[in-house]
């Protein structure tokens, strides 16, 4: 098969690494990719949202399948773009339709979907500038902390958790009236605060059946102890010890099955990954959010635990035969620790030389934000490298990550020192 993978982060490097191991791969292209993905295929200068450019590339290179890494092309409707054009309809797209991607693209849509299919989630109300007064009344009836969510995509920044009512009212007003998050906060979802521990669960689905992937826990805040600003994710581990068989049964029966059935019953085309952002409240799972793609850095711990040929599974998704495909996992723990540019998630420099990647032997160094100048790898983003290791348990895997990170350097490099610590007994 000839594959075009869209995206440029650690998630895409991990997917490229796995796709390159497939026995049915003929050629892999990554658009735009990074300095890491070029080890596994050809990087192509093409934006994941340039649908016309992608079409031209697919036709010229006889691509059989487009694997979509990030959410943006999905939310913009790349699946539908391919379906609507008879010259490229034969090329499979791994990712949901525009309607399916609304599970991530609109918090309000996701909440309505969950209410319709009785999927456990926090109680909520949705408000616009026209219903600001009702929104304020709704907030005043709730208890602190107050959870405000911009309806649309806001690059991970659209959720505010606020401790006092006066500030919550001020923020709600700023989101709705001043469009603090632009069009993304034209609508705001106000939610009941759920107190528990978070984890991420992933499935791949062909719209009929699904395959469960290993679960993961990510670390979103910039500083140790889950302090400071939110980031794209500073590290992850898999498996998640508290996600035992009893808990995962509840996730399966109360969340995954009703979601996949719900999509089907609503006639929503969905051929790709579903990412369930869950919270366990005293052992009961609730959905915090859906994403219509794999997580980053969760992919960097989940995909290394997949033993099966990923293209065989993707082919199953494309041909509605996923239920016939075998899926197996590697019975080891994985951890990934993100090396980021000093200053991230705010201002940081780019273009700094990275040294020592080749000295790493006990980990896989997935590139998250890199580019190259000849043989020299340079930083090219806030999140720079995702260093993944296997271990007989999470502790061993995490220790290996830190040993490997000690061999890598670039100016002002930073990482959290406590990835996985909270789940190590
Ligand atoms: P989201 O973008 O919806 O995943 O929200 C970002 C983060 O905000 C989540 O990872 C949670 O840590 C937190 N969060 C969101 N909704 C809630 C809620 N209802 N209760 C508690 N925490 C929440
Ligand atoms: N790590 C969280 C995400 O990918 O959205």
Q: pLDDT (tens digit, 9 = 90+) per residue, 78-111?
A: 999 999 999 999 999 999 999 999 999 999 999 9
Q: Whose CA is nearest to atom 5 of ligand 2?
A: 295
Dihedral (CA of 56, 267, 69, 331) sign: negative
pLDDT class of 154 with cuts at 50, 70, 90: confident
- Do 77 and 24 reside in the same domain of the chain? yes
- Do 75 and 10 reside in the same domain of the chain? yes
- Do 88 and 11 reside in the same domain of the chain? yes
In angstroms, the CA 400 to CA 402 distance is 5
Rounded mean pLDDT, 192-205: 96
Beta bridge pairs of residue 336: 236, 388
Per the document, the length of the chain is 425
Using one digit for the tens of pLDDT, what is the confidence trace for 282-328? 999 999 999 999 999 999 999 999 999 999 999 999 999 999 999 99
The CATH number linked to 63 is 3.40.50.20
Using one digit for the tens of pLDDT, what is the confidence trace for 326-365? 999 999 999 999 999 999 999 999 999 999 999 999 999 9
Per-residue DSSP letters for 354-386? -B-GGG--SSEEEESSEEEETTEEEE-SSEEEE
How many angstroms is it from 160 CA to the middle of ligand 1?
8
In angstroms, the CA 334 to CA 338 distance is 13
Cβ atoms of 149 and 107 closer than 8 Å: yes
Beta bridge pairs of residue 318: none
Instruction: Locate 56 and state its tokens.
Output: 């031209």
pLDDT > 70 fraction of the chain, expressed in percent and rounded: 100
The CATH number linked to 178 is 3.30.1490.20
Instruction: Locate 79 and state its tokens.
Output: 């699946």
Cβ atoms of 391 and 402 closer than 8 Å: no
Which has the closest alpha carbon to 306: 424, 419, 401, 204? 204
pLDDT of residue 399: 98
pLDDT of residue 184: 82
How many angstroms is it from 297 CA to the middle of ligand 2?
7
Rounded mean pLDDT, 34-60: 97
In a domain? residue 245: no
Domain boundary among 140, 168, 191: 191
Using one digit for the tens of pLDDT, what is the confidence trace for 253-292? 999 999 999 999 999 999 999 999 999 999 999 999 999 9
pLDDT of residue 157: 75
pLDDT of residue 424: 86
CB-ligand 1 contact for 281 (6 Å cutoff):
no
Burial class of residue 363 (count of CB atoms within 10 Å of its CB; 0-12, 13-18, 19+): buried
Rounded mean pLDDT, 244-261: 98
- Do 130 and 93 reside in the same domain of the chain? no
In angstroms, the CA 309 to CA 3 distance is 14
In a domain? residue 239: no
pLDDT of residue 179: 79
Instruction: Locate 11 and state its tokens.
Output: 């998630």
Helix/strand/coil for 92: strand
In a domain? residue 91: yes
In angstroms, the CA 314 to CA 25 distance is 12
pLDDT higher than threshold 80 for residue 58? yes
Is this structure's pTM higher than 0.85? yes
How many angstroms is it from 169 CA to the middle of ligand 1?
18
How many angstroms is it from 207 CA to the middle of ligand 2?
22
pLDDT of residue 336: 98
In a domain? residue 213: no
- Do 81 and 156 reside in the same domain of the chain? no
In a domain? residue 12: yes
pLDDT class of 155 with cuts at 50, 70, 90: confident
pLDDT of residue 180: 80
- Do 87 and 127 reside in the same domain of the chain? no
In a domain? residue 262: no
pLDDT of residue 215: 98
CB-ligand 1 contact for 122 (6 Å cutoff):
yes
Ligand located closest to 301 CA = 2
- Do 52 and 8 reside in the same domain of the chain? yes
pLDDT of residue 178: 82
Q: How many domains does the chain have?
A: 2
In a domain? residue 67: yes
Ligand located closest to 108 CA = 1
Rounded mean pLDDT, 233-243: 96
Domain boundary among 191, 210, 245: 191
- Do 129 and 64 reside in the same domain of the chain? no
- Do 14 and 77 reside in the same domain of the chain? yes
Using one digit for the tens of pLDDT, what is the confidence trace for 124-148? 999 988 888 999 999 999 998 999 9
pLDDT class of 156 with cuts at 50, 70, 90: low
Which has the closest alpha carbon to 12: 405, 317, 296? 296
What range does the domain containing 45 cover? 2-97
How many angstroms is it from 288 CA to the middle of ligand 1?
6
- Do 7 and 82 reside in the same domain of the chain? yes
Burial class of residue 67 (count of CB atoms within 10 Å of its CB; 0-12, 13-18, 19+): buried
Rounded mean pLDDT, 380-392: 98
pLDDT higher than threshold 90 for residue 182? no
CB-ligand 1 contact for 159 (6 Å cutoff):
yes
Per-residue DSSP letters for 296-353? TTTHHHHGGGB-S-HHHHHHHHHTT-GGGS---B-SSEEEEEEEEETTTTS------B
- Do 141 and 74 reside in the same domain of the chain? no
- Do 162 and 81 reside in the same domain of the chain? no
Domain boundary among 133, 156, 191: 191
Cβ atoms of 395 and 423 closer than 8 Å: no
pLDDT class of 425 with cuts at 50, 70, 90: confident
Which has the closest alpha carbon to 303: 1, 9, 4? 9
Which has the closest alpha carbon to 159: 203, 191, 127? 191
In a domain? residue 186: yes
**Helix-, strand-, coil-residue percentages of the chain, each rounded to 5:** 30, 30, 40
pLDDT of residue 354: 98
């Amino acid at each position: 098969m000839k594959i075009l993978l869209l995206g440029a982060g650690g998630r895409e490097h991990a997917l490229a690494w796995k796709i390159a191991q497939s026995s049915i791969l003929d050629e892999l292209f990554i658009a735009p990719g990074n300095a890491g993905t070029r080890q596994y295929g050809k990087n192509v200068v093409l934006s994941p949202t340039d649908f016309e450019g992608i079409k031209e590339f697919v036709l010229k290179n006889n691509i059989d399948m487009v694997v979509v890494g990030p959410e943006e092309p999905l939310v913009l409707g790349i699946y539908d773009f391919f379906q609507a054009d008879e010259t490229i309809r034969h090329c499979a797209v791994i990712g949901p339709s525009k309607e399916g991607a609304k599970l991530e693209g609109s918090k309000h849509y996701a909440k309505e979907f969950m209410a319709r299919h009785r999927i456990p989630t926090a109680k909520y109300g949705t408000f616009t500038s026209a219903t600001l007064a009702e929104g304020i009344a709704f907030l005043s009836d709730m208890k602190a902390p107050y959870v405000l969510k911009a309806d649309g995509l806001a690059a991970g920044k659209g959720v505010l958790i606020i401790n006092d009512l006066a500030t919550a009212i001020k923020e709600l007003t700023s989101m709705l009236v001043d469009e603090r998050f632009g069009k993304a906060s034209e609508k705001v979802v106000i939610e009941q605060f759920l107190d528990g521990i978070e984890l991420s669960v992933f499935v791949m689905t062909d719209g009929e059946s699904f395959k469960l992937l290993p679960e993961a826990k990510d670390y979103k805040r910039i500083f140790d102890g889950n302090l400071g600003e939110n980031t794209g994710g500073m590290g992850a581990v898999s498996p998640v010890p508290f996600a035992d068989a009893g808990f995962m049964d509840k996730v399966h029966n109360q969340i995954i099955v009703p979601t996949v059935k719900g999509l089907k019953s609503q006639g929503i085309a969905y051929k790709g990954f579903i990412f369930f952002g869950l919270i366990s409240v005293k052992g009961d799972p609730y959905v915090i959010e859906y994403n219509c793609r794999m997580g980053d850095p969760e992919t960097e711990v989940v995909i290394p635990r997949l033993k099966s040929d990923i293209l065989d599974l993707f082919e199953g998704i494309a041909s509605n035969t996923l239920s016939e495909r075998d899926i197996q996992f590697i019975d080891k723990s994985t951890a990934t620790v993100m090396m980021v540019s000093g200053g991230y998630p705010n201002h940081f420099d780019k273009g700094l030389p990275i040294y020592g990647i080749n000295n790493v032997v006990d980990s896989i160094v997935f590139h998250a934000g890199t580019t190259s100048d000849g043989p020299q790898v340079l930083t090219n983003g806030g999140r720079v490298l995702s260093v993944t290791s296997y271990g007989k348990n999470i502790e061993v895997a995490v220790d290996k990550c830190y040993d490997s990170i000690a061999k890598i350097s670039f100016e002002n490099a930073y990482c959290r020192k406590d990835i996985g610590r909270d789940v190590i007994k």
